[in-house]
Structures are given as C-alpha cells and as structure tokens.
Amino acid sequence: MNMSRSGSAFTMMKRIERSKWFQGFIITIIVIAALTVGAKTYPLPYGIDKAINYLDIFITIFFLVEISLRFLACESKRHFFKDPWNIFDVVIVAGSLMPISDTEMILVARLLRVFRVLRLVSIIPDLRFLINALLKAIPKMGYIALLMFIIFYIFAAVGSIFFHHVNETLWGDIAISMLTLFRVATFEDWTDVMYETMEVYPLSWIFYIIFIFLTAFVFLNMMVGVVLDVMTRETAEEEHENQENHHQALVAQISELQAQVARLADKIDAQQDDKNR
C-alpha cells in the first residue's frame, strides 16, 4: 500500500514538473525576478522597496521548491547532477538563499540574484540548444580568433612603424595600434583614422581596406559559418535521436500488443478446451 502511494506521488510530481502550465509559471517567475532586480537600481519609496523585498523572498522560496520538485521527480538522482544545467540551477538557487543585508557577501548575493535571469536558458529548450551549440563551436572559433589575433598583430606592427609619427595617440606602440585597429574593425569612426594617415601617406587607404576585408568580412563570416555548422549537426543529431526514440517506442508498443494478443489467444484456447471437456 505504501509502495503504491509513493509511486503515485512520484508520478504526480513528475507530471507536475513536466506540465506546460508549470513550466510557463516558472518562466513568469523568472521574468518577475529579472524585473525586481532592475527595479532595485532605481530610488524607490519605502513601501514599494519593502514590497519588492517580500516578493524577492517569495521568488527565492519558489525557486527552492521548484528545484526540489525537479530533484524528487528525477528517476535517477545521480543523473540529475550529471546535467550541467541542473548544477547551474542549484548553484543559482543556493546563492539566492544567501542574505543580502548586513553581511560581507552582500555583493556576491546580489550578483547571484542577477544571474537568476539566466535560468531562462535552463528552462527553455531552444535557448539551451543555442547555448550548447555555441559552447561546442568555441574550440573551432578559438582557432579563428587566434588567426585574427595574428592578423591584428601584423597590421598593428605595420601601422605603428609607418603611422606613429602621424598620431602617437593612435599608433604610438603595438598595443595602442591594436586598439586602434579594433576601432577600425568595428567601424567606429574609422574613416577619421584613415583620412588622417592619408594626409601623409595617400595610398594608406589600401592598408585599411585590406584589414577590414580580412577581419570584418572573411573572419566574421568564418565565425558565423562555424556556429551554423555546429547548429546544423546538432539539429541533425537531435532529429536522429528523436527518430530512434520514436522507433523504440513503436517497437515497445508492438511488443506489448503481441504479448496481449498472445494472452488473448491463450485465454481463447483455454476456453475452447473447457468447452470440449
């Protein structure tokens, strides 16, 4: 009797945790938590500030109940902590339990409350998919970033050699030159920099055009291509996994139907034997 009750309670918790209305309510609470963090950056009347503090306590308790429900609804407790998103949620919720007043950790506690907004990523599957694809693309993007750094370094050295006497502020040394080239690559008034050097070196526009072509067009498109390639492969793998799960579910249903048919056939045979007797 106790086993059946515990099983039904587990099924109920699992059903609540996976229900769409519960997920939508969690997203609403996370959005409200984000709004409370933003509201506290403004000077507020005492009554409103007090109400926001009570609301923050309610949100913290709700997150604690929600993460506890997810843990209890998980069939394998070890598997729950193998998911990095679950660990992230636990850290955020545990950090939210820290008091935000009269402690030396007040800044850390407030910072963790700001990070509660990131729980939207762990709740919404599409956002998790994007973040996972981005994380898997980082190794390849790192090589592109390294190649970009080499290009920046070469052009910064050339710019410092030729343009340092034009403007020491922009081309004084290689470090400052790299910052100037970053300004050029982001198109922040880069024409002013170009026209200044063109007064001394009329053909210096070739230097900027080549640099912008490499950084803003070639390497940026390479970055986008890497992310799109990873997202495409992730989508294909997810579709393949869903097809396999669907196939396994169909096989299980067919096996169950075959077993039921076999039991019915046995019952019919038994009834016929009884009649014959």
- Three-state DSSP state, 190: helix
Query: Quick check: 113 and 89 in contact, CB under 8 A?
Result: no
- Residue intervals in the chain for CATH 1.20.120.350: 8-123
What pLDDT band is residue 156 in, cutting at 50, 70 and 90? very high
Can you give the pLDDT at residue 10? 63
Mean pLDDT across 101-108: 60
103 pLDDT more than 60: no
* 182 vs 122 pLDDT, higher one: 182
Query: Of all helices (H) and strands (E), which one includes residue 83?
Result: none
pLDDT at 277: 61
Compute the mean pLDDT over every residue in the chain, rounded to the nearest whole number.
Answer: 81
- pLDDT band with cut points at 50, 70 and 90 for residue 85: confident
Instruction: Categorize the per-residue pLDDT at 171 as very low, low, confident or very high, splitting at 50, 70 and 90.
Output: very high
**pLDDT, tens digit, for every residue of 38-47?**
887 888 888 8
Residue that is written with structure tokens 């599957």 in the block: 125
At residue 161 the predicted structure's pLDDT band, cuts being 50, 70 and 90, is: very high
Residue 265 CA: distances (Å) to CA of 43, 182, 225, 247, 253:
78, 78, 59, 27, 18
Whether the predicted pLDDT of 180 surpasses 90: yes
| pLDDT of 3 over the 50 cut | no
Is residue 177 over pLDDT 90? yes
Question: What pLDDT score was predicted for residue 208?
Answer: 94
Q: What is the crossing angle of helices 205-212 and 125-163, to 10°? A: 160
Residue 237 confidence class, pLDDT cut points 50, 70, 90? confident
Does domain 140-250 fall under CATH 1.10.287.70? My reply is yes
**Average pLDDT in the 103-125 region?**
71
Q: Are 112 and 92 in contact (CB under 8 A)?
A: yes
What proportion of the chain, given as a percentage, has pLDDT over 70? 87
The CA distances from residue 196 to 63, 161, 188, in Å, are: 57, 15, 15
Options 3.40.50.1970, 1.20.120.350, 3.40.50.300, 1.10.760.10; which CATH number does 8-123 get? 1.20.120.350
What is the Cα–Cα distance from 7 to 15, expressed in whole angstroms?
12
Report pLDDT digits (tens) over 188-234.
889 999 999 999 999 999 999 999 999 888 888 888 888 888 888 87
| Higher-pLDDT residue of 136, 169 | 169
